[in-house]
Chain A
């Protein structure tokens, strides 16, 4: 098959090549080498290191993929102190209610009937970085007789999404120092802070009170707040401090049954009793009904103090 190629003969052109080779100065070859342009060197480098380069690309792709892959991690949100006490133990209840910190955190009280005994179950949520405080409170509670099932549980949640997304679904804290801010700057700051946390369409009105204090009214669209979440905003303005808290909680099946068949007045009385907040009156509680769905809103402004407390609860 290859006889044809084998028969070819180019010996007659050897003399031409010989002349060329003899005329080819070694300095010319060196010159050619020196004149190699940078991209030729690059090309040769890529060719000779193609495997390394290919592996580098694969590694880079892996790193990018690994970075963008959703990961799960335990995130500490704070601590929960929980305890139970018999409702009839008035002495212990008085001691608990007289504690200064009892109204500062997020306190949830559930009433349970166990074998005819009314048991109050307390859950106090403390923000993260207050673990030492939680330990101190546990010691104080531990000293009160009649308190049982006292425990401090770290509030962890498995996070598989970006942290900001996580915050949107829970209560987030906003602190604004408005001391040297104009009204417009304050409006912009509040709007941007709320928007950052997923609450849009907020209307803000700021006016000056008789005593020179600035009064800010924030109108938040009903649909902006998640079913399970809200925000806790503190605005510091000179020596005054204003706190606005908007929390929404979806009730359990058990809680829903408690409201079933109850009139608005009955629900209000129940809430006042359960919240055990002397500052809350019936006219502060707003109840809306949509079929079986009961929506409860409590607007509580503590007179005489610089704090305004709002609580919104939704029970299904």
Chain B
């Protein structure tokens, strides 16, 4: 007979990768260790409160809501750490390193940079939509918002900010490439120009 933990692991398996992606992207502004901490705390909270989830079909949105809350707690802890030595309670059982080092290409880095320029709520909303595949109604529920329109405008704002940032970054990148090309061209021209002179000698 399956116990609660077995059921939890079974339900987690299909959502696991998305949950990790969501967690890592949420912490774009922060370190991978923070993402791992958020994930660990989310697992602990989810296990602890799994009994309270009556409708198991809503596991995904329930678990992503826990991740979102834990992420907000992490941010708040930064504030409280200034005054009190607060920290999330750690388990005796050490959490494994789930984020293997992956070399990110230019697009990946640019996207993470763009995610770091938007607010935490905007980042959470757009990641829930894009990575989690949640509907606006589900995002509203996860983010504890009262109206759908606030989620819609949050998504729209996030997209615009990210788009503007990426365009600006690409523009800067193009300028840098262009400058490099001109410099290289000049050197080549000079070399070509010099070649016949040396040949003749």
Produce 1/0 per residue, A3-39, CB < 8 A to B.
0111011111110111111111110110011011001
The answer to whether B86 and A28 touch across the interface, beta carbons within 8 angstroms, is: no
Partner pick for B5 among A5, A8, A12, A21, CB 8 A cutoff: A21
A6 proximity list for chain B (CB < 8 A): 21, 130-131
Partner pick for A1 among B80, B97, B111, CB 8 A cutoff: B111
Decide if A2 is an interface residue (CB 8 Å cutoff). yes
- Please measure, in the bound complex, the distance between the C-alpha atom of A22 and the C-alpha atom of B102, giving whole angstroms: 27
Give residues of chain B (1-58) contacting chain A, Cβ–Cβ below 8 Å. 5, 8-9, 12-13, 16-17, 20-21, 24-25, 43-44, 47-48
Q: Which residue of A lies closest to B159 (CB)?
A: A1
What distance in Å separates the Cβ of A4 from its nearest Cβ neighbour in chain B?
A: 5
Which of B87-95, B135-143, B174-182, B188-196 lies at the interface? B87-95
What distance in Å separates the Cβ of A129 from its nearest Cβ neighbour in chain B?
A: 55
The answer to whether B20 and A10 touch across the interface, beta carbons within 8 angstroms, is: yes
Decide if B162 is an interface residue (CB 8 Å cutoff). yes
What distance in Å separates the Cβ of A149 from its nearest Cβ neighbour in chain B?
A: 72
Query: Is chain A's interface secondary structure helix, strand, loop, or mixed overall?
Result: helix
Task: Decide: A26 near B47, CB < 8 A? Known: A2-B111, A14-B16, A17-B96.
Answer: yes
The answer to whether B95 and A20 touch across the interface, beta carbons within 8 angstroms, is: yes
B84 proximity list for chain A (CB < 8 A): 39, 43
- Please measure, in the bound complex, the distance between the C-alpha atom of A9 and the C-alpha atom of B24, giving whole angstroms: 12
Decide if B76 is an interface residue (CB 8 Å cutoff). yes
Q: Which residue of B lies closest to A12 (CB)?
A: B100
A36 proximity list for chain B (CB < 8 A): 89
What distance in Å separates the Cβ of A3 from its nearest Cβ neighbour in chain B?
A: 9
A17 proximity list for chain B (CB < 8 A): 12, 16, 43, 96, 98
The answer to whether A9 and B17 touch across the interface, beta carbons within 8 angstroms, is: yes
Decide if B200 is an interface residue (CB 8 Å cutoff). no
Q: Which residue of B lies closest to A24 (CB)?
A: B93
Chain B residues within 8 Å of chain A by Cβ, number: 42
What distance in Å separates the Cβ of B12 from its nearest Cβ neighbour in chain A?
A: 8
- Please measure, in the bound complex, the distance between the C-alpha atom of A286 and the C-alpha atom of B50, giving whole angstroms: 99
The answer to whether A32 and B130 touch across the interface, beta carbons within 8 angstroms, is: no
Decide if B198 is an interface residue (CB 8 Å cutoff). no
A9 proximity list for chain B (CB < 8 A): 17
Decide if B166 is an interface residue (CB 8 Å cutoff). yes
- Please measure, in the bound complex, the distance between the C-alpha atom of A5 and the C-alpha atom of B132, giving whole angstroms: 11
A24 proximity list for chain B (CB < 8 A): 43-44, 47, 91, 93
Partner pick for B102 among A8, A11, A23, A26, CB 8 A cutoff: A8
- Please measure, in the bound complex, the distance between the C-alpha atom of A9 and the C-alpha atom of B21, giving whole angstroms: 8
Decide if A47 is an interface residue (CB 8 Å cutoff). yes
The answer to whether A8 and B21 touch across the interface, beta carbons within 8 angstroms, is: yes
The answer to whether B98 and A16 touch across the interface, beta carbons within 8 angstroms, is: yes
Decide if A40 is an interface residue (CB 8 Å cutoff). yes
B17 proximity list for chain A (CB < 8 A): 8-11, 14
Apart from A10-B99, A11-B17, A13-B96, what are 12 other A-B pairs with CB-CB below 8 Å? A6-B131, A9-B17, A13-B100, A17-B12, A19-B96, A20-B43, A20-B96, A21-B47, A24-B44, A32-B90, A33-B89, A39-B86
In the assembled complex, 18 residue pairs joining A and B whose CB atoms fall closer than 8 Å, in A order, are A1-B162, A2-B111, A4-B105, A5-B25, A10-B21, A10-B98, A14-B17, A17-B43, A21-B5, A21-B12, A22-B9, A24-B44, A24-B93, A29-B91, A32-B90, A43-B86, A47-B73, A47-B76
Q: Which residues of B contact A (CB under 8 A)?
A: 5, 8-9, 12-13, 16-17, 20-21, 24-25, 43-44, 47-48, 73, 76, 80, 84, 86, 89-93, 95-100, 102, 105, 107-108, 111, 127, 130-131, 162-163, 166
Minimum-distance CB pairs A-B, first 4: A16-B96, A10-B20, A32-B89, A2-B130
